[in-house]
Structure 1
């Protein structure tokens, strides 16, 4: 089982393609999928141009919003209705820049996954890895559906349903996605209106794909690590196979392979933490504030008998809550899988091993006892308890906000 000649999966290319298919599509749409081979200068240049266009779209969304909020609006309540969007439109560019900064780390993690697929040992290991790959795909697909459903209910459906508004002096205001202040032109005149409306929709696609990419990167690498830990626990349980337990050399070889693979997993987890820690911190902190504000918008919309506004913000509230829950769920799965490896290390029939080899398990137990938690910026753990704390914090701020604004 552990002979070097057997450490090759002839179908690894198909397995890798299945693992990263959806993630490559999502990341490729925003130019974040890493380049593994040497490509022509023209292709690299086109990638730089596309990233520049995406940064322009994110700025086109943020800057006019901020100008309208600070230069046009002059009351606290009117600015309060805009601050949720300001937080969101500031959070997304920060996550996009973080993705660009860690592109090399994404490439190294992908090489690690490819090497693991090449070295699949048997059908059971392959089944475990495929199950985790399927879970990672499912998480990304669900997150993308939630984000686009909530986003386009706000950016497309709500403006269309509201229709045109006639104000004083018979001035007709055509609906835009959001209130903005454009210094150099009037967005209500054609063709400026059509261009601005289209760019808002295009910007929405970039925004929601960026948020889905953060979730996708986290789910892809973390679920792969969970699969490797699950395999490691299976190897430990099979360490004292009845047919081979009497062969000290075979047992020593298997134990050495287990320890080396555990070290490899720990290094991979450290790389994952460096990659996703900052992005998760930005999303968790920003989303906590946004949850509070969305709850406020739902309540105020209901008080104004604005059912469309309340429904739209309720859908967005559900989407943001789901996004935070998914990140915490991934962290919880990783933590529980690490605990399973530790428990397996402590409960195998180590007393059947020769005394010299049994002592080697001390290193394994020490490594397994070290937490495998995923943290948001090394500030707090991603777990179900953290999700509960985030929701309670958002509700506390919402209660405070309602008290101040009544």
Structure 2
């Protein structure tokens, strides 16, 4: 178990800070111009507008092709790309609208990291553990997203190379309709433009993934440290003025309750800021799963093995991202429930009646889950991940039966 000292003693202590924990999120959000603590506002706004325009233009041209084409296979392929672009565009605009709330969340995290130096060695190890998990998950997200984009482009080139040289046609990465004819002189610029758009799409997805994982793991680490403080609480402990003794964290009952309230408020900030973004992610991913599984099953006997492989990788990447969201937020809820269990398990019958009453309020508050929802409709947990997979499979089977 994460809370046991036997495990904590095996994890080396490394001095961390806010900049270390948010490094990947800061880099990725700065790329798309959404890092709230930006020094050059004009540069950030310019990057945001460029990314917004590139995604919007590619989306409109792709949707135009979906509307005009009579080829069902090409229509499904283009529809999958259009859904991903639309989902990413909506999330980008929502992130822009929620930038003030993001600044508040990051300010709360910065305050928490200022208290890190006063933590006990065991609590430092716990916080380091979840910070490491957030960074590892972020690195995996970056790798998978870049790998899926690269595989998609390689599959398009490989499919063209499989055709005989006399009838070989080179297509753009995203099948689209433009108000001008893409001739040989314009093919390379348009190809590079779509490559840039794909990079913008990947950057937006990666930045949101890194941010959500980091904020969730931060709350889980703080709750784990709070559980340790509750377990080690003794009735003889008195409040310590941290302004006079800043080297040691105060673990009296008053500070434990105040810390619990602060963490709960932080979780509510995360919920209010990102529930619509998560709803967009879940709806878009459900339809993408449906269409991708339909294409994989329908074209499982085709000779374009590289193309099918790219769709399988694409499906696995989005499957991983969805599971990661559900897993990190479910872990946060479970750790919040452990706070109440830790308060109940200590020898509270030896405490002063006032301390017992405060512990009772802590237990009651911990019984209310720290759920992060998708648009207030359902909570993110492992069960909701299973429901999305089952729903997508059902939709895909309906499409196959109609076909």
**TM score, norm. by length of structure 1:** 0.88
C-alpha contact 2:159 2:307 (8 A) present in aligned 1: no
Q: CA, structure 1 residues 196+302, in 2 after alignment: closer, same or farther (shift >3 Å)?
A: same
Is residue 64 of structure 1 aligned with residue 61 of structure 2? Answer: yes
C-alpha contact 1:225 1:269 (8 A) present in aligned 2: yes
Residues 165-244 of structure 1 aligned to structure 2 (within 5 Å): 173-184=169-180, 186-190=181-185, 192-240=186-234
1:16 is aligned, of 15, 18, 37, to: 18
Aligned equivalents of 1:89, 1:253: Cα separation in 2: 49
Q: CA, structure 1 residues 279+311, in 2 after alignment: closer, same or farther (shift >3 Å)?
A: same
Residues 6-405 of structure 1 aligned to structure 2 (within 5 Å): 15-35=17-37, 39=39, 43-71=40-68, 73-74=69-70, 76=72, 78-120=74-116, 121-122=118-119, 123-154=121-152, 156-163=153-160, 173-184=169-180, 186-190=181-185, 192-240=186-234, 245-246=235-236, 254-405=252-403
Q: Secondary structure at the match of 2:299?
A: helix
Aligned equivalents of 2:49, 2:191: Cα separation in 1: 20
Q: Secondary structure at the match of 1:303?
A: coil
Q: CA, structure 1 residues 104+247, in 2 after alignment: closer, same or farther (shift >3 Å)?
A: closer
* Residue number in structure 1 paired with 2:7: none
Which moved further from structure 2: 301-310 or 144-153? Answer: 301-310
Q: Secondary structure at the match of 2:184?
A: coil
Aligned equivalents of 2:359, 2:134: Cα separation in 1: 32
* Residue number in structure 2 paired with 1:6: none
Aligned equivalents of 2:57, 2:238: Cα separation in 1: 67
Aligned equivalents of 2:104, 2:333: Cα separation in 1: 23
| Shift, 1:211, TM fit | 1.1
| Shift, 1:165, TM fit | 8.7
C-alpha contact 1:67 1:181 (8 A) present in aligned 2: yes
**TM score, norm. by length of structure 2:** 0.89
| Coordinate RMSD, CA, aligned | 2.3
> CA offsets, 1:346-375, max 9 Å, x none?
211100101232122121111111111221
Aligned equivalents of 2:14, 2:87: Cα separation in 1: 37
